[in-house]
Structure 1
Amino acid sequence: MVSSKTTALNADALEFLRKARESARLPFQEMAPEEARKLYESSCCMTAFSVTELAQTQDLSVATAQHAVPIRIYRPMRSAPGGSPAILYIHGGGWVLGSISTHDAICHMLATSVDAVVVAVDYRLAPDYPFPAGFNDVLAAYHFVCHNATELGIDPTRVALAGDSAGGALAASLALALRTEVDVPPIAQVLFYPVTDISTESQGYERVQDGSILTAQTMRWFRDHYAPRSLDRHDWRASPMKAQSLHGAAPALIITAAHDPLCEEGGAYAERLERDGVPTTHVHLEDQMHAFLTMGGIIPSARVPFDYAVQFLRQRLFPSE
């Protein structure tokens, strides 16, 4: 369980919040989705990690029956003979915001730090495309990676999932679906401050009402756009905690932050994975807030949990090292 007593928020995060207040920036829930997307794009660009080593990139699309799903492939300069391991990365943004561009720095860094091919998915966003559109898109992207592994230079037996926030929810649900969807399921999942249950509100919604980049009010705005029907919020593809069993999912790393309304549900999901027999590591950060991963340029300490995730992924993707 997460303690109700937390240490003070990281000083760099506090400084960001102070400047945000002084700018009189409206919270996302008081904007139209398109306006909020523009703000999120510009904010992520300004606060992203500074990338020191670039990966080679290639933009492709995954054809489905109704539409094409854009993806971007990041390749490290060092390629493994016989196919490289891969990471399917799913961006956050409450299913309403975000894109490949908002998480571009993270994907560059994952590719070069893990020595893996990273496949970023530009899934459809709510409210234009509510649940289950986003889930269907990331599932299609995973199938594309598996079916085209040879052409992509990927070893299909060494594929991991990763995502932050709403992307963490999609990654968690994808890990559950792929237990039976493919011959070789993913071998790891990394979830940064994930959403795991939108059918209810955890204690974190009471704790974080204002003064943070993500509040209870913002989460409700995201949830209402993504899953306006109450019935959909109980679907495990939207709320992975609602799955009957988590047994057989990929070994997990879950990273939570104390100053985050999603903290409790992330911790509860880690506990549930363990109970259902899934090897799970839960890293809890007492002095961090939601979205620190996309703010590495102004919160230098965000590099610590990022590097921990890199270590976890390397251990799973390069088991013989």
Structure 2
Amino acid sequence: MPVYEGTDIPPSVGRGTLDPELAAWLPTGPVLGADVAIAQGRRAHTVLGTGPWPPIGAVDTLVLPGPHGSLTVRRHTPTRATSTLAGALVYIHGGGFTYGTLDEFEVPMRLIAERAGIVTYAIEYQLAPEAKFPVQIDEVEFFVRWLFDNAEQEGVDSEKIALGGDSAGGNMTCVVALKLRDETGPRLALQVPLFPEAAFPGDTVSGSENRVGLYLETNGIYEMVRNYVKNSDDGRHPYITPLNAPTHADLPPTILVTNGFDPLRDVGHAYAQKLAAAGNALTYVHHPDLTHGFPQFTRYSAACHRATLELADLIKQRIG
């Protein structure tokens, strides 16, 4: 697992050899951005949301009066926290703003919570196209601020609250971190954007060479973004395309992850470069042998399982 700091990010990253277990499983698994009806795509993903689950201390559900109706958040408490007031990771699941359930991310949430000794909070934000931007951003920001306000009651250290997410959730991680900075909001201890959609990847090398057969379909991203934004929205706005922020200075310390066989590889790498150039503390991880979505594929690939645990170890170093 190549790990870089902000001072030594390579000028480009690429593909190695696709993990053979992933290569064998991918043709049998769901496809994100498939050319099918949304309902069919959602049904296909339910295979990722079935047990049995890894052991953990406790799992329960919070239901809060959010800004757009009730907001459900699933809390994962480790068997043994690494501090009296625990660190916490607020997590925004991926799925192109259109797909994804909390069950589908239950395995990585449990693995990270237990391995890092922190509490994870997975947000069940409203999906597109039923809900449009900025509903999802409002809901995530609401919960982050709620957790800061209620940290002590939650047994959480307010100086060890992180925000993370994958893919579209990585996009929203970057956006909410920018928004909290812009609004002088509470200070995150860490942001963890995993293969974030920092910009649309259609004209990148990674978007071209990884366009089909590797879980996330490049051209399917067009439809998922279309589900998310309204005609009146400016797609270049930093709260939709965080790579376009006028400045990336004064953002939280960051762990950013990309994958070789991922359409979003190059836009994620570009965002890492922006963060580093702006002087932010950065740990950049690149998996040349993995695809988009690897934390969900831990049952099918030992390399995906190992990469998820290594991510948990990095998070533990920062907020555990």
Distance 1:199 1:131 in 2: 19
Distance 2:87 2:204 in 1: 36
Aligned residue pairs total 310
The CA RMSD measured in Å over matched residues stands at 2.2
Shift of 1:261: 0.7
Distance 1:215 1:168 in 2: 17
Contact preservation (8 Å) 2:132, 2:228: yes
Distance 2:278 2:141 in 1: 23
Equivalent residue for 1:247, pick from 246, 249, 254: 249
Shift of 1:303: 2.5
Q: Deviations over 1:179-238 (max 9, x none)?
A: 254654111111221110139643322222322211211211211111243743212122
Q: Does 1:36 align with 2:46?
A: no
Aligned to 2:49: 45
Amino acid at match of 1:8: T
Contact preservation (8 Å) 1:86, 1:116: yes
- Written as runs of structure 1 = structure 2, the 5 A alignment for 1:131-170 is 131-170=133-172
Distance 2:27 2:74 in 1: 34
Residue identity (%) = 23
Aligned to 1:12: 21
Aligned to 1:221: 223
**SS of corresponding position for 1:62:** strand
Contact preservation (8 Å) 1:193, 1:290: yes
In 2 relative to 1, CA 123–66 (structure 1 residues): closer, same or farther, beyond 3 Å? closer
Contact preservation (8 Å) 1:58, 1:74: yes
TM-score of the aligned structures, taking structure 1 as reference length: 0.89
Higher RCO (C-alpha under 8 Å, 6+ residues apart): 2
Shift of 1:65: 4.2
Distance 2:152 2:274 in 1: 36
Shift of 1:273: 0.3
Q: Does 1:2 align with 2:6?
A: no
Contact preservation (8 Å) 1:171, 1:191: yes
In 2 relative to 1, CA 93–297 (structure 1 residues): closer, same or farther, beyond 3 Å? same
In 2 relative to 1, CA 27–71 (structure 1 residues): closer, same or farther, beyond 3 Å? closer
- Written as runs of structure 1 = structure 2, the 5 A alignment for 1:286-305 is 286-305=288-307
Shift of 1:35: 2.3
Distance 1:86 1:304 in 2: 21
Contact preservation (8 Å) 1:196, 1:239: yes
> 5+ unaligned residues in a row in structure 2: which ranges?
1-10
Distance 1:294 1:199 in 2: 22
Amino acid at match of 1:38: R
- Written as runs of structure 1 = structure 2, the 5 A alignment for 1:1-321 is 1-3=11-13, 6-20=15-29, 28-42=33-47, 44-45=48-49, 51-79=53-81, 82-181=84-183, 184-198=186-200, 201-229=203-231, 231-318=233-320
> 5+ unaligned residues in a row in structure 1: which ranges?
none
TM-score of the aligned structures, taking structure 2 as reference length: 0.89
Distance 2:39 2:177 in 1: 30
Between stretches 175-184 and 100-109, larger displacement belongs to 175-184
In 2 relative to 1, CA 66–123 (structure 1 residues): closer, same or farther, beyond 3 Å? closer
Q: Deviations over 1:92-126 (max 9, x none)?
A: 11100002111111111111111111111000110
Amino acid at match of 2:171: A
Contact preservation (8 Å) 2:68, 2:135: no
In 2 relative to 1, CA 232–305 (structure 1 residues): closer, same or farther, beyond 3 Å? farther
